Amino acid sequence: MTTVGEFMTTRLVTMDGNDTLAAAAQEMRDSAIGDVVVTNGDDVVGIVTDRDITVRGVAEDLDPNRARLNEITSRDVITVSQYDDAVAAADLMRTYAVRRLPVIDDGRLVGLVSMGDLAVEREPQSVLADVSADDPNN
């Protein structure tokens, strides 16, 4: 059995829900990532992606310098353990139509597993795996 912990990313960025959309966008740019995990203290409360900032923020006329991540955060986060089976994680993504799952260990955020991570691990010849394994182009 291949576990989530074998290929999750531990290089993740967390931000407080009171941080602005602009701050999150700048962090994503600077870190060459497409999402931030939104926390309240040590608790994971949601995820915000670059698409969320565009569709739920800018397209809705929110001022990126004033609007807070709490206003656009995807909540009801589905999480996995680093010891969970990778196939089960993929099934969760399919069931809940999500592309990323925070990895929690003893109530603490330890990583993030994405659809791209799963593709690289489970289907290395797929287009998604090829794109996901490549260096960012930004």
Q: What angle do CA 33, 34, 40 make, to 5 degrees?
A: 95
Q: Write the single-letter amino acid at 126.
A: S
Give the mean pLDDT of 26-50.
93
pTM value is 0.81
CB 83, CB 3: distance < 8 Å: yes
Neighbours of 129 (CB within 10 A): 18
Q: Which residue has the higher pLDDT, 23 or 75?
A: 23
CB 113, CB 101: distance < 8 Å: yes
Give the mean pLDDT of 79-89.
93
pLDDT averaged over every residue in the chain: 86
